Structure 1
Amino acid sequence: MDEEVKFVLDSAKESMDGGISHLEKALIKIRAGKASPMMLSTVMVEYYGSKTPLSQVANVNTPDARTISVQPWEKSLLSEIETAIMNANLGFNPMNNGEMIIINVPPLTEERRIQLTKQAKAEAEDAKVSIRSARQEANKDLKALDISEDLLKNAEVDVQELTNKYIAKIDSILTVKEAEIMKV
Protein backbone atom coordinates (compact mmCIF):
# COMPACT_ATOMS: atom_id res chain seq x y z
CA MET A 1 0.00 0.00 0.00
CA ASP A 2 2.78 2.41 0.94
CA GLU A 3 4.47 1.84 -2.42
CA GLU A 4 1.35 3.01 -4.24
CA VAL A 5 1.33 6.27 -2.24
CA LYS A 6 5.03 6.77 -2.96
CA PHE A 7 4.38 6.16 -6.66
CA VAL A 8 1.61 8.81 -6.72
CA LEU A 9 3.89 11.30 -4.92
CA ASP A 10 6.77 10.56 -7.32
CA SER A 11 4.59 11.02 -10.39
CA ALA A 12 3.25 14.31 -8.98
CA LYS A 13 6.83 15.48 -8.37
CA GLU A 14 7.81 14.50 -11.92
CA SER A 15 4.84 16.41 -13.33
CA MET A 16 5.74 19.47 -11.24
CA ASP A 17 9.37 19.28 -12.42
CA GLY A 18 8.02 19.37 -15.96
CA GLY A 19 6.13 22.57 -15.16
CA ILE A 20 9.30 24.20 -13.79
CA SER A 21 11.41 23.20 -16.81
CA HIS A 22 8.72 24.51 -19.18
CA LEU A 23 8.72 27.83 -17.30
CA GLU A 24 12.51 28.09 -17.53
CA LYS A 25 12.42 27.46 -21.29
CA ALA A 26 9.66 30.05 -21.74
CA LEU A 27 11.56 32.66 -19.71
CA ILE A 28 14.76 32.18 -21.73
CA LYS A 29 12.88 33.38 -24.80
CA ILE A 30 11.86 36.62 -23.06
CA ARG A 31 14.74 38.93 -23.71
CA ALA A 32 16.13 40.98 -20.87
CA GLY A 33 18.00 43.64 -22.80
CA LYS A 34 21.02 41.52 -23.58
CA ALA A 35 21.58 39.47 -26.71
CA SER A 36 21.16 35.70 -26.58
CA PRO A 37 21.26 33.03 -29.32
CA MET A 38 17.94 31.74 -27.92
CA MET A 39 16.27 34.91 -29.25
CA LEU A 40 16.51 33.40 -32.73
CA SER A 41 15.38 29.90 -31.70
CA THR A 42 12.02 30.31 -33.45
CA VAL A 43 13.51 31.41 -36.79
CA MET A 44 12.95 28.88 -39.59
CA VAL A 45 15.01 29.13 -42.81
CA GLU A 46 13.98 27.82 -46.23
CA TYR A 47 16.73 25.25 -46.89
CA TYR A 48 16.50 23.03 -49.98
CA GLY A 49 12.73 23.26 -50.04
CA SER A 50 12.00 22.63 -46.37
CA LYS A 51 11.75 24.81 -43.28
CA THR A 52 14.80 24.25 -41.10
CA PRO A 53 15.67 25.79 -37.70
CA LEU A 54 18.31 28.53 -37.99
CA SER A 55 20.61 26.70 -35.57
CA GLN A 56 20.87 23.79 -38.05
CA VAL A 57 22.09 25.91 -40.99
CA ALA A 58 24.24 28.52 -39.24
CA ASN A 59 26.38 29.26 -36.22
CA VAL A 60 24.61 31.75 -33.92
CA ASN A 61 26.82 33.66 -31.45
CA THR A 62 26.77 36.71 -29.22
CA PRO A 63 30.10 38.53 -29.51
CA ASP A 64 28.91 41.10 -26.94
CA ALA A 65 25.81 41.94 -24.89
CA ARG A 66 24.17 43.97 -27.70
CA THR A 67 25.06 41.94 -30.81
CA ILE A 68 24.05 38.60 -32.32
CA SER A 69 26.11 37.23 -35.20
CA VAL A 70 24.82 34.55 -37.57
CA GLN A 71 27.46 32.77 -39.66
CA PRO A 72 25.82 30.42 -42.21
CA TRP A 73 27.60 27.22 -43.15
CA GLU A 74 26.80 27.96 -46.81
CA LYS A 75 27.22 31.56 -48.00
CA SER A 76 24.37 31.09 -50.46
CA LEU A 77 22.02 31.06 -47.45
CA LEU A 78 22.82 34.63 -46.33
CA SER A 79 19.82 36.26 -48.03
CA GLU A 80 17.49 33.38 -47.00
CA ILE A 81 18.54 33.77 -43.35
CA GLU A 82 18.19 37.54 -43.50
CA THR A 83 14.66 37.19 -44.91
CA ALA A 84 13.74 34.53 -42.33
CA ILE A 85 14.86 36.77 -39.44
CA MET A 86 12.79 39.68 -40.77
CA ASN A 87 9.75 37.41 -41.37
CA ALA A 88 10.01 35.99 -37.82
CA ASN A 89 8.74 39.38 -36.63
CA LEU A 90 11.17 39.64 -33.71
CA GLY A 91 11.73 43.36 -34.13
CA PHE A 92 15.32 42.94 -35.34
CA ASN A 93 16.94 44.61 -38.34
CA PRO A 94 19.60 42.20 -39.65
CA MET A 95 22.65 43.55 -41.53
CA ASN A 96 24.36 41.41 -44.15
CA ASN A 97 28.09 42.10 -44.65
CA GLY A 98 28.68 39.37 -47.24
CA GLU A 99 30.26 37.01 -44.69
CA MET A 100 27.71 36.89 -41.89
CA ILE A 101 24.57 38.54 -40.60
CA ILE A 102 24.92 40.94 -37.70
CA ILE A 103 21.96 41.93 -35.54
CA ASN A 104 22.18 44.86 -33.15
CA VAL A 105 19.81 44.29 -30.23
CA PRO A 106 18.32 47.66 -29.30
CA PRO A 107 18.14 48.57 -25.62
CA LEU A 108 14.71 48.11 -24.09
CA THR A 109 12.45 51.06 -23.36
CA GLU A 110 10.77 51.33 -19.95
CA GLU A 111 7.40 50.55 -21.55
CA ARG A 112 8.79 47.42 -23.23
CA ARG A 113 10.39 46.27 -19.96
CA ILE A 114 6.99 46.51 -18.25
CA GLN A 115 5.39 44.49 -21.09
CA LEU A 116 8.09 41.80 -20.79
CA THR A 117 7.61 41.67 -17.01
CA LYS A 118 3.86 41.09 -17.53
CA GLN A 119 4.68 38.36 -20.06
CA ALA A 120 7.03 36.70 -17.54
CA LYS A 121 4.32 36.88 -14.85
CA ALA A 122 1.83 35.24 -17.23
CA GLU A 123 4.30 32.40 -17.91
CA ALA A 124 4.81 31.96 -14.15
CA GLU A 125 1.05 31.86 -13.59
CA ASP A 126 0.72 29.17 -16.28
CA ALA A 127 3.41 27.16 -14.48
CA LYS A 128 1.54 27.55 -11.18
CA VAL A 129 -1.63 26.28 -12.86
CA SER A 130 0.24 23.20 -14.08
CA ILE A 131 1.60 22.61 -10.55
CA ARG A 132 -1.90 22.90 -9.09
CA SER A 133 -3.34 20.52 -11.68
CA ALA A 134 -0.57 18.02 -10.80
CA ARG A 135 -1.66 18.37 -7.15
CA GLN A 136 -5.29 17.83 -8.11
CA GLU A 137 -4.37 14.75 -10.16
CA ALA A 138 -2.27 13.33 -7.29
CA ASN A 139 -5.09 13.85 -4.77
CA LYS A 140 -7.54 12.16 -7.15
CA ASP A 141 -5.15 9.20 -7.56
CA LEU A 142 -4.68 8.96 -3.79
CA LYS A 143 -8.45 8.86 -3.19
CA ALA A 144 -8.73 6.04 -5.73
CA LEU A 145 -6.28 3.91 -3.74
CA ASP A 146 -7.58 1.47 -1.15
CA ILE A 147 -5.81 2.95 1.88
CA SER A 148 -6.76 3.99 5.43
CA GLU A 149 -8.07 7.49 6.05
CA ASP A 150 -5.05 8.42 8.17
CA LEU A 151 -2.64 7.38 5.42
CA LEU A 152 -4.74 9.29 2.89
CA LYS A 153 -4.70 12.47 5.02
CA ASN A 154 -0.90 12.20 5.52
CA ALA A 155 -0.37 11.66 1.79
CA GLU A 156 -2.55 14.67 0.93
CA VAL A 157 -0.49 16.79 3.35
CA ASP A 158 2.68 15.57 1.59
CA VAL A 159 1.21 16.53 -1.80
CA GLN A 160 0.31 19.99 -0.48
CA GLU A 161 3.85 20.49 0.92
CA LEU A 162 5.27 19.47 -2.46
CA THR A 163 2.93 21.93 -4.18
CA ASN A 164 3.95 24.76 -1.83
CA LYS A 165 7.63 24.02 -2.45
CA TYR A 166 7.19 24.20 -6.24
CA ILE A 167 5.05 27.35 -6.11
CA ALA A 168 7.80 29.02 -4.03
CA LYS A 169 10.37 27.86 -6.59
CA ILE A 170 8.31 29.47 -9.39
CA ASP A 171 8.08 32.71 -7.40
CA SER A 172 11.86 32.83 -6.91
CA ILE A 173 12.53 32.13 -10.62
CA LEU A 174 10.08 34.92 -11.54
CA THR A 175 11.71 37.37 -9.10
CA VAL A 176 15.13 36.75 -10.67
CA LYS A 177 13.74 37.19 -14.20
CA GLU A 178 11.86 40.39 -13.29
CA ALA A 179 15.05 41.87 -11.81
CA GLU A 180 16.94 40.89 -14.97
CA ILE A 181 14.32 42.52 -17.22
CA MET A 182 14.05 45.74 -15.22
CA LYS A 183 17.83 46.20 -14.85
CA VAL A 184 18.94 48.96 -17.22
Structure 2
Amino acid sequence: MTTTVSTADLKRRMHGAVEALRHDLQGLRTGRASTALLDPVQVEVYGSHMPLNQVATVSTPEARMLSVQVWDRSNVQPVEKAIRSAGLGLNPITDGQVIRLPIPELTEERRKELAKLVGQYAEKARIAVRNVRRDGMDHLKADEKKHEISEDERKRLETEVQKLTDDTIREVDELSQAKEKEILGK
Protein backbone atom coordinates (compact mmCIF):
# COMPACT_ATOMS: atom_id res chain seq x y z
CA MET A 1 0.00 0.00 0.00
CA THR A 2 1.48 3.37 -1.02
CA THR A 3 -0.75 5.37 1.25
CA THR A 4 0.78 7.46 4.06
CA VAL A 5 -1.64 6.06 6.64
CA SER A 6 -1.84 2.34 7.28
CA THR A 7 -4.80 0.55 8.81
CA ALA A 8 -2.30 -1.17 11.14
CA ASP A 9 -1.26 2.25 12.48
CA LEU A 10 -4.90 3.31 12.93
CA LYS A 11 -5.64 0.00 14.65
CA ARG A 12 -2.67 0.54 17.00
CA ARG A 13 -3.83 4.07 17.87
CA MET A 14 -7.45 2.97 18.45
CA HIS A 15 -6.21 0.07 20.58
CA GLY A 16 -4.24 2.64 22.62
CA ALA A 17 -7.52 4.43 23.45
CA VAL A 18 -9.05 1.12 24.58
CA GLU A 19 -6.00 0.34 26.75
CA ALA A 20 -6.18 3.81 28.33
CA LEU A 21 -9.85 3.13 29.15
CA ARG A 22 -8.94 -0.27 30.66
CA HIS A 23 -6.33 1.43 32.85
CA ASP A 24 -8.79 4.14 33.95
CA LEU A 25 -11.45 1.55 34.79
CA GLN A 26 -9.00 -0.56 36.81
CA GLY A 27 -8.51 2.30 39.24
CA LEU A 28 -12.22 2.54 40.06
CA ARG A 29 -13.20 0.98 43.36
CA THR A 30 -15.91 -1.66 43.12
CA GLY A 31 -16.06 -2.81 46.74
CA ARG A 32 -13.42 -5.48 46.15
CA ALA A 33 -9.74 -4.97 46.85
CA SER A 34 -7.60 -4.33 43.79
CA THR A 35 -3.94 -3.29 43.83
CA ALA A 36 -4.71 -1.01 40.84
CA LEU A 37 -6.73 1.15 43.22
CA LEU A 38 -3.47 2.57 44.62
CA ASP A 39 -1.77 3.15 41.22
CA PRO A 40 -2.49 6.90 41.18
CA VAL A 41 -1.08 7.44 44.71
CA GLN A 42 2.09 9.57 44.75
CA VAL A 43 4.27 9.57 47.90
CA GLU A 44 6.59 12.41 48.86
CA VAL A 45 9.84 10.68 49.86
CA TYR A 46 13.54 11.45 49.45
CA GLY A 47 12.67 15.00 48.39
CA SER A 48 10.49 14.03 45.41
CA HIS A 49 7.13 12.54 44.48
CA MET A 50 7.23 8.84 43.64
CA PRO A 51 4.54 6.30 42.73
CA LEU A 52 3.54 4.17 45.73
CA ASN A 53 4.70 0.98 44.00
CA GLN A 54 8.28 2.36 44.02
CA VAL A 55 8.44 2.57 47.82
CA ALA A 56 6.22 -0.35 48.87
CA THR A 57 4.67 -3.65 47.82
CA VAL A 58 0.89 -3.66 47.48
CA SER A 59 -1.03 -6.92 47.84
CA THR A 60 -4.57 -8.19 48.46
CA PRO A 61 -4.47 -10.67 51.35
CA GLU A 62 -8.31 -10.77 51.49
CA ALA A 63 -11.16 -9.84 49.15
CA ARG A 64 -11.86 -6.63 51.08
CA MET A 65 -8.37 -5.72 52.30
CA LEU A 66 -5.27 -4.17 50.74
CA SER A 67 -1.88 -4.54 52.38
CA VAL A 68 0.97 -2.09 51.77
CA GLN A 69 4.40 -3.36 52.84
CA VAL A 70 6.64 -0.26 53.05
CA TRP A 71 10.28 -1.12 52.31
CA ASP A 72 11.94 1.67 54.32
CA ARG A 73 10.63 2.23 57.86
CA SER A 74 11.20 6.01 57.53
CA ASN A 75 8.68 6.11 54.66
CA VAL A 76 5.72 4.61 56.57
CA GLN A 77 4.31 8.02 57.64
CA PRO A 78 4.61 9.65 54.18
CA VAL A 79 2.97 6.58 52.58
CA GLU A 80 0.09 6.66 55.08
CA LYS A 81 -0.33 10.42 54.52
CA ALA A 82 -0.35 9.97 50.72
CA ILE A 83 -3.03 7.25 50.91
CA ARG A 84 -5.22 9.38 53.22
CA SER A 85 -4.94 12.46 50.99
CA ALA A 86 -5.51 10.56 47.70
CA GLY A 87 -9.29 10.91 48.05
CA LEU A 88 -9.93 7.17 47.73
CA GLY A 89 -12.12 6.98 50.83
CA LEU A 90 -9.70 4.55 52.50
CA ASN A 91 -8.70 4.62 56.17
CA PRO A 92 -5.13 3.26 56.64
CA ILE A 93 -4.29 1.17 59.72
CA THR A 94 -0.54 1.16 60.40
CA ASP A 95 1.13 -1.86 62.02
CA GLY A 96 4.93 -1.46 61.93
CA GLN A 97 6.00 -1.34 58.28
CA VAL A 98 2.67 -2.75 57.05
CA ILE A 99 -0.29 -0.52 56.31
CA ARG A 100 -3.66 -2.29 56.08
CA LEU A 101 -6.48 -0.76 54.08
CA PRO A 102 -9.93 -2.23 54.71
CA ILE A 103 -12.17 -1.64 51.68
CA PRO A 104 -15.55 -0.34 52.89
CA GLU A 105 -18.85 -1.26 51.25
CA LEU A 106 -19.89 1.20 48.57
CA THR A 107 -22.97 3.27 49.28
CA GLU A 108 -25.69 3.42 46.61
CA GLU A 109 -24.88 7.10 46.01
CA ARG A 110 -21.17 6.34 45.55
CA ARG A 111 -22.01 3.47 43.17
CA LYS A 112 -24.03 5.87 41.00
CA GLU A 113 -21.18 8.41 41.01
CA LEU A 114 -18.72 5.71 39.95
CA ALA A 115 -21.09 4.50 37.21
CA LYS A 116 -21.29 8.07 35.91
CA LEU A 117 -17.49 8.26 35.95
CA VAL A 118 -17.33 5.02 33.93
CA GLY A 119 -19.56 6.71 31.34
CA GLN A 120 -17.25 9.74 31.20
CA TYR A 121 -14.17 7.53 30.74
CA ALA A 122 -15.94 5.58 27.98
CA GLU A 123 -16.96 8.77 26.18
CA LYS A 124 -13.36 10.03 26.34
CA ALA A 125 -12.23 6.76 24.73
CA ARG A 126 -14.95 6.98 22.02
CA ILE A 127 -13.85 10.53 21.19
CA ALA A 128 -10.22 9.40 20.93
CA VAL A 129 -11.24 6.57 18.57
CA ARG A 130 -13.31 8.95 16.41
CA ASN A 131 -10.38 11.36 16.22
CA VAL A 132 -8.16 8.54 14.94
CA ARG A 133 -10.84 7.69 12.34
CA ARG A 134 -11.04 11.34 11.24
CA ASP A 135 -7.24 11.45 10.88
CA GLY A 136 -7.33 8.29 8.76
CA MET A 137 -10.12 9.58 6.53
CA ASP A 138 -8.32 12.91 6.04
CA HIS A 139 -5.12 11.09 5.04
CA LEU A 140 -7.01 8.95 2.55
CA LYS A 141 -8.60 12.01 0.91
CA ALA A 142 -5.22 13.74 0.75
CA ASP A 143 -3.64 10.63 -0.80
CA GLU A 144 -6.37 10.54 -3.45
CA LYS A 145 -5.79 14.23 -4.22
CA LYS A 146 -2.07 13.54 -4.64
CA HIS A 147 -3.02 10.66 -6.97
CA GLU A 148 -1.29 8.15 -4.71
CA ILE A 149 -4.47 6.07 -4.54
CA SER A 150 -7.55 5.77 -6.75
CA GLU A 151 -11.08 6.79 -5.76
CA ASP A 152 -12.08 3.12 -5.54
CA GLU A 153 -9.08 2.37 -3.31
CA ARG A 154 -9.97 5.34 -1.08
CA LYS A 155 -13.57 4.15 -0.74
CA ARG A 156 -12.42 0.59 0.06
CA LEU A 157 -9.98 1.86 2.69
CA GLU A 158 -12.59 4.22 4.16
CA THR A 159 -14.92 1.24 4.59
CA GLU A 160 -12.09 -0.65 6.32
CA VAL A 161 -11.38 2.31 8.64
CA GLN A 162 -15.10 2.65 9.46
CA LYS A 163 -15.35 -1.08 10.29
CA LEU A 164 -12.28 -0.79 12.52
CA THR A 165 -13.86 2.24 14.25
CA ASP A 166 -17.18 0.43 14.79
CA ASP A 167 -15.41 -2.64 16.23
CA THR A 168 -13.29 -0.52 18.56
CA ILE A 169 -16.26 1.52 19.82
CA ARG A 170 -18.15 -1.74 20.41
CA GLU A 171 -15.20 -2.92 22.53
CA VAL A 172 -15.27 0.38 24.50
CA ASP A 173 -19.01 -0.04 25.10
CA GLU A 174 -18.58 -3.64 26.26
CA LEU A 175 -15.81 -2.67 28.70
CA SER A 176 -17.82 0.21 30.17
CA GLN A 177 -21.02 -1.85 30.47
CA ALA A 178 -19.15 -4.65 32.24
CA LYS A 179 -17.58 -2.18 34.69
CA GLU A 180 -20.92 -0.46 35.34
CA LYS A 181 -22.50 -3.84 36.04
CA GLU A 182 -19.65 -4.67 38.44
CA ILE A 183 -20.01 -1.32 40.26
CA LEU A 184 -23.78 -1.36 40.50
CA GLY A 185 -23.76 -5.01 41.54
CA LYS A 186 -26.29 -6.12 38.92
The amino acid that maps onto 1:182 is L
Q: What is aligned with 2:136?
A: 138
Separation (CA, whole Å) in 1 of partners of 2:185 and 2:161: 36
Tell me by how many angstroms 1:43 deviates: 1.5
**Pairwise mapping of residues 51-70 of structure 1 onto structure 2 (< 5 A)?**
51-70=49-68
Q: Secondary structure at the match of 2:101?
A: strand
TM-score by length of structure 2 reads 0.92
Query: Does the CA-based 8 Å contact 2:64-2:102 persist in structure 1?
Result: yes
Is 1:8–1:141's contact at 8 Å kept on the other side of the alignment? no
How far does residue 3 in structure 1 lie from its aligned partner after superposition? 3.7
Alignment-derived partner of residue 174 in structure 1: 176
- Aligned residue for 1:127? 125
In structure 2, give the amino acid aligned to 1:4.
T
Matches within 5 A, 1:1-184: 2-4=1-3, 7-145=5-143, 146=147, 147-183=149-185
- 1:164 Cα offset (Å): 0.7
Give the root-mean-square deviation of aligned CA atoms. Answer: 1.4
User: 1:89: how far off?
Assistant: 2.1
- Aligned AA for 2:151? E
Inter-partner Cα distance in structure 2 for 1:110 and 1:87 = 23
2:124, 2:84 → 1: CA distance?
A: 29
Q: Is the 8 A contact 1:46 1:52 kept in 2?
A: yes
Q: For the residues of structure 2 that align with 1:162 and 1:99, how far apart are their CA atoms? A: 49
The unaligned stretches of length 5 or more in structure 2 are none
Superposed displacement of residue 38, structure 1 = 1.3
Q: Output one character per residue of 1:144-164: Cα deviation in whole Å (capped at 9) or x when no partner.
A: 112221111111111111111
Contact kept, 8 Å, 2:42 with 2:82, in 1: the verdict is yes
In structure 2, C-alpha distance between the alignment counterparts of 1:162 and 1:48, rounded to whole Å: 47
In structure 1, stretches of 5+ residues that fail to align are: none
1:126 and 1:160 mapped to 2: Cα distance?
Answer: 19
- Please state whether the residue corresponding to 2:10 is helix, strand or coil: helix
Q: Post-superposition, which runs of at least 4 consecutive aligned residues in structure 1 deviate over 6 A?
A: none
TM-score (norm 1): 0.93
- The alignment partner of 2:91 has SS state of coil
SS at match of 1:4: coil
Q: What is the distance in 2 between the residues matched to 1:162 and 1:182?
A: 30
